[in-house]
């Protein structure tokens, strides 16, 4: 069973540990090791910021990652999104597909937004393919947008409209149900 739960104060150190894992940092825009003070400031900012929602991803009773919507803009009806799984052992099992579905339900059903968008490093082929499988369209390419270990990398911008999700959703949810993931 895969679910999301609200981030709690007790998650502070776990999330920092996850975020500093080399396999997580490899696909993030910032790849430096996050110190206690920097992380504490970020974590404290979550509590009272209505433009951000963060959840711990749970799989079979274990905390396995972080999912989030941020820059939630109710006026324009849009937000950025993202997630990561901490352990490479949890990747490729369908957990991410369920997380995507749950985040899209939150953005479109609960928050009533009309668009979700995200940015992916162009070298992250599995996540690029996942966006496309979920119906996201490539809306832009930000050339040499992020520098990681001294090397500039392109970033692909993806977007999904609520109207498109409403068409794609039944097939995606059916596939996840068939695989006993949702």
Instruction: Tell me the CATH number at 52.
Output: 3.40.630.30
Q: Is the pLDDT of residue 1 over 90?
A: no
> Looking at residue 85, what is its pLDDT?
92
pLDDT band at 41 (very low <50, low <70, confident <90, very high): very high
Give the pair of three-digit tokens for residue 104.
């899209």
| % of the chain surpassing 90 pLDDT | 82
Structural contact between residues 69 and 107, judged by C-beta atoms closer than 8 angstroms? yes
Residue 55: exposed, middle, or buried by beta-carbon count in 10 A (0-12, 13-18, 19+)?
A: buried
Q: Is the pLDDT of residue 90 over 90?
A: no
pTM metric for this prediction: 0.91
Mean pLDDT, the chain, rounded, equals: 94
The count of structural domains within the chain is: 1
pLDDT band at 48 (very low <50, low <70, confident <90, very high): confident
For 60, the domain range is: 2-178
pLDDT band at 106 (very low <50, low <70, confident <90, very high): very high
Backbone angles phi, psi at 69, to 5 degrees: -120, 135
Structural contact between residues 78 and 40, judged by C-beta atoms closer than 8 angstroms? no
């Amino acid at each position: 069973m895969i679910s999301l739960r609200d981030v709690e104060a007790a998650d502070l150190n776990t999330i920092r540990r996850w975020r500093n894992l080399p396999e997580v940092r490899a696909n993030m825009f910032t790849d430096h090791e996050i110190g206690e003070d920097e992380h504490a400031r970020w974590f404290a900012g979550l509590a009272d910021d209505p433009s951000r929602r963060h959840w711990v991803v749970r799989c079979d009773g274990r905390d396995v990652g972080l999912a989030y919507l941020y820059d939630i803009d109710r006026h324009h009806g849009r937000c950025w999104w993202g997630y990561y799984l901490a352990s490479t052992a949890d990747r490729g099992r369908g957990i991410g597909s369920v997380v995507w579905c749950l985040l899209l339900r939150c953005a479109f059903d609960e928050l009533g937004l009309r668009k979700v968008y995200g940015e992916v490093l162009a070298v992250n082929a599995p996540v690029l393919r996942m966006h496309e499988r979920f119906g996201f369209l490539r809306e832009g390419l930000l050339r040499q947008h992020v520098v990681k270990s001294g090397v500039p990398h392109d970033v692909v911008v993806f977007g999904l409209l609520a109207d498109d999700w409403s068409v794609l959703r039944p097939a995606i949810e059916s596939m996840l149900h068939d695989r006993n993931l949702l």
